[in-house]
Amino acid sequence: MEGSMPLHFPNQYPLSFPAQCQAIFYKFWLTNWRDTAQNSTRFALTIGVGFVFGTIFWRDGQKTNNQRNLVNSVGSLYSSTLFLA
């Protein structure tokens, strides 16, 4: 409109960076825990995969007498972490 002043804001963002991060994390928290079927399935799969990997690599953690067994133990931890992700 003629004669009107342009909008002016004192800052580029209405909230500070920590306040924006808190709002985003809160919305994520609400969205994530709203879907109980997905969370229960994820929890059950994590328990199942943990049981499977636990039975496969049952006593590998005690065999650290040489480098090969130690690398096998670290590799089993790495593969189980990647499998869950």
| Count of other CB atoms within 10 angstroms of residue 37 | 7
Q: Please check whether residue 15 is in contact with residue 23, taking contact to mean a CB–CB distance below 8 angstroms.
A: yes
For residues 20 and 77, what is the distance between their CA atoms, to the nearest angstrom? Answer: 36
* Residue 59, amino acid: R
pTM higher than the cut 0.95: no
Report CA 4 to chain centroid distance, whole Å. Answer: 49
What does each of the 85 residues of the chain score in pLDDT, given as a tens digit? 788 988 877 777 778 889 999 999 999 988 888 888 888 998 898 899 888 888 887 877 777 788 888 888 888 888 888 877 6
* Residue 20, amino acid: Q
